[in-house]
Amino acid sequence: MRVGGLALAAIAAGALVAAALAAHGAASAKRSTRIVAASRRTFGEGAWSWFADPRAVYSRGRIVAGWVDRDKYVNIASIKTSSVYRVRIGREQHRDDHGNPALIVRPDGRISAYFSDHNGPVIYWRTTTRPGDIGSWGSLNSYHSNTPGSHGRTYPSPVHLSAEQRSWLFWRGGNWSISYARTLSSGNWGHAHELISNPGQRPYLKETSNGRDEIDLAFTNGHPRETPANIYFARYRHRVFYRADGSRITTLSRLPMHPSQAGEVYDARKHGAVPAWIHDVAVDSDGNPVLVFATRSPTRAGRSPRRTSSATTPAVWCSTTATRAPSTPR
């Protein structure tokens, strides 16, 4: 996504605060957080795509955010009030906003950054050598396993579950399915598996977690330029996937799931075939999932897309129309 030429060229620090609090708030969902306005920060020209998450995390009193610049370098910045520290940790093969790093604060406080090229041959990651300190990084690591297909790897997104004592990594795989891997007892990443599959289409995923034992998944059945895309929801807990009303979808051993198996949040067919586009998922103070998605009529050129939030309470989805949404990635 590009803002003012290239994203982060003039992105507000308040937006980074919101992103960091969204990630930080997953581990403290029971505590409400008031987001206040912040001054604008400029980091130079850069870009990110919103399906590799988290793009910002909160660690030891600082916001840590990442992007790719016009010279293809992967950048990480540590931000605290008037103090900003910035480093480069890698470089893309091709200039593309899909290469932004996805960040995670590990249980020991160190920060890991995952990134790949658009349909890249591998997923890369690096980890800081000290908790919360982006000034020193370990060696560049690479993950080569993937689901079958010729479309490489895009949008790596890490999650850690303390109850399982393991991390998860999600990405778009070789056949465009949503893929995942989990860490083994050794700490190494296991083999790639399909999570969500809709042959011939490209499902898109946003995820969040309580950091303990649950992962919330919000996703489409395809790209809205190519199909009347719907919005779906599933919650993972203890090797089982559930809809928002608590009904069971499937188990970890019986994946992949088809989007239609999950809980339906938005059905394009019931809205004149107007497709939807998932933007974010979070958890409210009562533990209910909250989704943000956009809809755009394909028949009205130039029409601004509408951004909608939906929450479950707990079995019925309630929608509220909001403001404009940005352009769609590929």
- Whether residue 311 lies inside any domain: the answer is yes
Instruction: Say whether both 210 and 287 belong to one domain.
Output: yes
Instruction: Say whether both 33 and 95 belong to one domain.
Output: yes
Instruction: Say whether both 116 and 226 belong to one domain.
Output: no
* Residue 227 burial (CB count, 10 A): 17
Instruction: Say whether both 119 and 234 belong to one domain.
Output: no
Instruction: Say whether both 140 and 1 belong to one domain.
Output: yes
For residue 239, which of 218, 215, 223 has the smallest C-alpha distance?
215
- Whether residue 308 lies inside any domain: the answer is yes
| 244 touches 289 (CB < 8 A) | yes
The last residue of a domain, from among 78, 113, 144: 144
Which of the residue ranges 44-53, 244-253, 310-319 would you say has the lowest mean pLDDT? 310-319
**CB proximity list for 229: less than 8 A, separation 6 or greater:** 220, 221, 222, 223, 268, 275, 276, 277
The last residue of a domain, from among 105, 122, 144: 144
| 90 touches 140 (CB < 8 A) | yes
- Whether residue 184 lies inside any domain: the answer is no
- Specify which of 71-85, 182-196, 297-311 reaches the highest per-range mean pLDDT: 182-196
Region 178-189: mean pLDDT is 96
- Whether residue 150 lies inside any domain: the answer is no
Q: Which residues pair with 12 in a beta bridge?
A: 40
Instruction: Give the chain's domain count.
Output: 2
Instruction: Say whether both 111 and 7 belong to one domain.
Output: yes
Instruction: Say whether both 223 and 303 belong to one domain.
Output: yes
Residue 122 is given by DSSP the state: S
pLDDT for residue 147? 97
The last residue of a domain, from among 126, 144, 162: 144
Instruction: Say whether both 226 and 305 belong to one domain.
Output: yes
| 98 touches 155 (CB < 8 A) | yes
State pLDDT tens for residues 95-107. Answer: 888 999 999 999 9
Question: 34 pLDDT exceeds 80?
Answer: no
pLDDT for residue 292? 94
- Whether residue 307 lies inside any domain: the answer is yes
Instruction: Say whether both 203 and 304 belong to one domain.
Output: yes
- Whether residue 179 lies inside any domain: the answer is no
Cis peptide before 298 (omega within 30 of 0): no
- Whether residue 173 lies inside any domain: the answer is no
Q: What is the pTM of this model?
A: 0.84
- Whether residue 107 lies inside any domain: the answer is yes
Question: What is the span of the domain harbouring residue 238?
Answer: 197-330
Instruction: Say whether both 18 and 79 belong to one domain.
Output: yes
